[in-house]
Amino acid sequence: MIRKGDRFDPLDVAKQTERMVCRNGARKYTAFYATGVYGGIATGYVVGCCLRCFFCWTDFSRDFPEAYGNYYTAEEACENIVRAARKWRVSKARISGGEPTLCRKHLLELLELVEEREEVKLFILETNGILFGADESYVRDIAGLKKVYVRVSLKAGEPEAFEARTGASREFFELPFRAVKALLDHNVKFHVAAMTDPRIMPAEERRRLIGRLAEIDEFLAANLEEEECDPYEGTLVRMQIYGLDPIEFFGGKSLGFT
């Protein structure tokens, strides 16, 4: 149980979470369906993350992984994702919701299976980069897979902000940047995203983050996807717990108040 104000080790939280959401190569998922993002994509929603960002849009399975979802083997997850792709006539797929790089064995098996399925042309792996940054061999494992495309989402441009927004100790701030470097070095297809919403990230921090990326590679910085915070139910509750007033943050009108 992570309490408000705790500063945790995200690698330790990853291990603890894996004990709840991974079992004999299977992983917990809450749902499989297609959504309109990326121009239409089949999605498997996984349970569990190693960060606790206050702006996170995911449902409460992130916070109570033991209470949500069902276990699916890699074969079952692959079938469900392909079924969703067929049903909605899309050729892209992803796993989202939680952190897909938890349960390494399951993910690698799933990605291998997807490689063989004609229905899926591109598989997008949306990650916070913590586990890729901690272990380069993980990046090497996915580097040879033709359909895999990675989207690394950065949460902050400086250590103090990383700690404040994610709950993870500032000493782990570097890990997502190491992941970016490793993905580049291993020639993986990827781009970088960051929560640069000006309501969350000050302009100077945004500049530092972009500068930091540019030091690794200017193209990555230019192609940075700048995320905005949206008023999902989970986000509103987390913001309140964090001490922010969602009505003030988003404006009453956007929350349906007139």
Q: Which is nearer to another protein, 126 or 163 (CB)?
A: 126
Q: Is 39 in the site for another protein (CB under 8 A)?
A: yes
Give least dist CB 89 to another protein, A. Answer: 12
Q: Is 24 in the site for another protein (CB under 8 A)?
A: no
- Give the C-alpha distances (Å, rounded to integers) separating 208 from 44, 78, 201: 34, 39, 11
Q: Closest Cα to residue 181, out of 152, 149, 210, 223?
A: 152
Give least dist CB 88 to another protein, A. Answer: 15
Q: Is 115 in the site for another protein (CB under 8 A)?
A: no
Q: Kind of pairing, strands 122-127 and 70-72? A: unpaired
Q: Is 198 in the site for another protein (CB under 8 A)?
A: yes
Q: Which residues contact 176 (CB under 8 A, 6 or more apart)?
A: 128, 129, 130, 133, 152, 153, 154, 155
Residue numbers 216-255 binding another protein by CB under 8 A: 218-219, 221-226, 228
Q: Closest Cα to residue 235, out of 96, 64, 52, 67?
A: 52
Give least dist CB 25 to another protein, A. Answer: 29
Residue numbers 61-100 binding another protein by CB under 8 A: 91-92
Give least dist CB 203 to another protein, A. Answer: 4
Q: Is 144 in the site for another protein (CB under 8 A)?
A: no
Span interacting with another protein, options 47-55, 57-65, 95-103, 209-217, rule CB under 8 A: 209-217
Q: Is 207 in the site for another protein (CB under 8 A)?
A: yes
- List residues binding another protein (CB under 8 A): 36-39, 91-92, 122, 124, 149, 187, 189-191, 196-199, 203, 206-207, 210-211, 214, 218-219, 221-226, 228
